[in-house]
């Protein structure tokens, strides 16, 4: 049995259909960004039918070099449904070609350090002068203006500086950074929303093109919700609380008798009361220390002590069955191996096997979200470096001799 068969036994591999169309059909995107945020943005557009042309340097997007056992599974996931063109934009002739591609585009995505595009002679004013309908997405760590604008914009830095890391982990230990490109992913999704709104405004005739200043810092800061309001109003700086919550109780992760874990949330009064009844502690519903959410948050160590003592007497499956039967909100803590065999993940196709030219098939997350009338499409696998250089340049009317010169330094697979 192959790894992919193990991961997704209920589904045969998804087959690509180059003729498939989605709601973004007719939208052409030129993406010169690197790594996750821009690739996440253009992936969403590509999944719903946009013609995403990924313009890469001769060495390729660095994401291609994040490898697992010799294969870039990151690229196979983030590169799907796109076309790859290789250009060395340090050379004037290739930069001229990039300009011609942008002239015919609806969306241009870049994540150079702020000021770089201007140094290249491709400032937004220049690009909009050539193509007034262009939507320009400028992705950076800290935004195009401000004292930090030209600092390196890696997600790790903004995850730290946004206040996110300071809220993650336990109070007696160091702050914890997310183990994945969270800031980039959030920014990429915000970017999809911004592009969609800009396309709608253009369709309505309210504006032609415009510039989207997409900051990783501001994107991840937004997920802190009312943090700024709370601090400005009360002066309080929320401490790290592990898996507990500063806002509601009970809420935590609890160990079960078989060494597995469950996550529980009692964020409404009725659910909290049912949880206490279920563990045989209805007395807590009448104890002034636990009668309101505010009381429970203030005394959450005692709440966790009572719940922890109950869960450790039951296996995870037993605890889930009892709690769910009582209407309590509880779920298992999964790793990918658990998700791979969960019937809900399989029946919904949360991840799918996708045909792959190197591995036969590759498991990856399905297209999200699910639209009933205009669903996403599987048009092509992640391209080899420069796989579409020749075709795209011919479409753009580039001279044959120049096409051949580009292909000679790596512009084709």
Assess whether 266 and 214 both reside in one domain.
no
* 228's tokens: 């700024």
Assess whether 167 and 304 both reside in one domain.
no
DSSP β-bridge partners for residue 361: 355
Of 307, 332, 357, the residue that ends a domain is: 332
Instruction: Judge contact between 238 and 167, C-beta under 8 A.
Output: yes
Assess whether 132 and 274 both reside in one domain.
no
Tell me whether strands 28-31 and 51-56 are parallel, antiparallel or unpaired. Answer: parallel
What domain range is 70 assigned to? 8-224+370-408
- The residues near 113 (Cβ < 8 Å, ≥ 6 apart) are 140, 150, 152, 153
Assess whether 143 and 214 both reside in one domain.
yes
Assess whether 90 and 182 both reside in one domain.
yes
Assess whether 19 and 111 both reside in one domain.
yes
In a domain, 94, yes or no: yes
CA distances from 150 to 62, 116, 143, 191, 281 (A): 20, 10, 9, 20, 56
Of 332, 360, 382, the residue that ends a domain is: 332
In this predicted structure, what is the pLDDT of residue 11? 59
Assess whether 112 and 172 both reside in one domain.
yes
Assess whether 299 and 400 both reside in one domain.
no
CATH number at residue 279: 3.30.1540.10
In a domain, 27, yes or no: yes
In a domain, 45, yes or no: yes
354-400 tens-digit pLDDT: 999 899 999 999 999 999 999 999 999 999 999 999 999 999 999 99
184 is catalytic: yes
In this predicted structure, what is the pLDDT of residue 408? 81
Rounded CA separation 405/153 (Å):
34
In a domain, 158, yes or no: yes
In a domain, 304, yes or no: yes
In this predicted structure, what is the pLDDT of residue 54? 98
Of 303, 332, 361, the residue that ends a domain is: 332
Assess whether 268 and 131 both reside in one domain.
no
In this predicted structure, what is the pLDDT of residue 255? 98
Q: Which residues of the chain have pLDDT under 70?
A: 1-11, 410-413
Assess whether 141 and 211 both reside in one domain.
yes
Of the candidates 378, 369, 375, 404, the one whose C-alpha atom is nearest the C-alpha of residue 389 is 404
128-170 tens-digit pLDDT: 999 999 999 999 999 999 999 999 889 999 999 999 999 999 9
Give me the residue label for tokens 């309101």: 292
Of the candidates 299, 261, 291, 337, the one whose C-alpha atom is nearest the C-alpha of residue 7 is 337
In a domain, 242, yes or no: no
In a domain, 32, yes or no: yes
* Interior angle at CA 248, CA 175 and CA 170, nearest 5: 20
In this predicted structure, what is the pLDDT of residue 71? 84
In a domain, 211, yes or no: yes
188-216 tens-digit pLDDT: 999 999 999 999 999 999 999 999 999 99
* DSSP classification of residue 154: -
* DSSP classification of residue 71: B
Of the candidates 396, 357, 359, 348, the one whose C-alpha atom is nearest the C-alpha of residue 380 is 357
Which one is catalytic: 31, 61, 94, 184?
184
Number of domains within the chain: 2
Assess whether 98 and 147 both reside in one domain.
yes
Assess whether 293 and 380 both reside in one domain.
no
CATH number at residue 382: 3.40.50.10540
CA distances from 382 to 256, 386, 412 (A): 42, 11, 14
Instruction: Judge contact between 109 and 32, C-beta under 8 A.
Output: yes
């Amino acid at each position: 049995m192959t790894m992919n068969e193990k991961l997704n036994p209920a589904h045969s591999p998804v087959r690509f259909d180059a003729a498939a169309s989605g709601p973004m059909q007719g939208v052409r995107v030129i993406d010169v960004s690197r790594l996750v945020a821009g690739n996440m943005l253009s992936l969403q557009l590509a999944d719903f039918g946009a013609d995403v042309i990924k313009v890469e340097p001769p060495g390729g997007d660095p994401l291609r070099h994040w490898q697992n056992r010799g294969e870039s599974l990151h690229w196979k996931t983030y590169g799907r449904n796109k076309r790859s063109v290789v250009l060395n934009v340090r050379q004037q002739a290739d930069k001229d070609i990039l300009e011609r591609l942008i002239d015919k585009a609806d969306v241009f995505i870049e994540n150079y350090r702020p000021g770089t595009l201007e140094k290249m002679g491709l400032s937004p004013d220049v690009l909009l002068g050539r193509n007034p309908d262009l939507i320009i997405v400028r992705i950076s760590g800290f935004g195009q203006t401000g004292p930090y604008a030209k600092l390196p914009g890696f997600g790790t830095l903004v995850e730290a500086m946004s206040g996110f890391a300071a809220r993650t982990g336990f109070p007696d230990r160091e702050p914890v950074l997310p183990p994945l490109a969270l800031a980039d992913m959030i920014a990429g999704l915000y970017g999809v929303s911004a592009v969609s709104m800009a396309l709608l405004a253009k369709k309505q005739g309210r504006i032609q093109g415009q510039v989207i200043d997409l900051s990783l810092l501001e994107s991840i800061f937004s997920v802190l919700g009312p943090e700024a309001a709370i601090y400005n109003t009360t002066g309080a700086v929320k401490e790290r609380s592990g898996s507990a919550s500063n806002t509601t109780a009970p809420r935590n992760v609890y160990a079960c008798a078989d060494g597995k874990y469950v996550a529980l949330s009692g964020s409404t009064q009725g659910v909290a009361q049912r949880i206490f009844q279920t563990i045989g502690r209805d007395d807590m519903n009448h104890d002034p220390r636990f009668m309101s959410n505010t009381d429970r948050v203030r005394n959450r160590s005692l709440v966790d002590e009572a719940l922890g003592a109950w869960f450790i007497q039951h296996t995870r499956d037993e605890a889930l069955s009892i709690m769910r039967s009582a209407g309590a909100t509880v779920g298992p803590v999964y790793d990918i191996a658990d998700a791979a065999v969960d019937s809900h993940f399989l029946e919904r196709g949360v991840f799918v096997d996708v045909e792959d030219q190197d591995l036969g098939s590759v498991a990856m997350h399905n297209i999200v979200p699910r639209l009933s009338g205009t669903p996403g499409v599987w048009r092509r696998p992640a391209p080899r470096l420069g796989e579409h250089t020749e075709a795209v340049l011919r479409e753009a009317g580039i001279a044959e001799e120049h096409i051949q010169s580009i292909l000679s330094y790596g512009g084709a697979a």
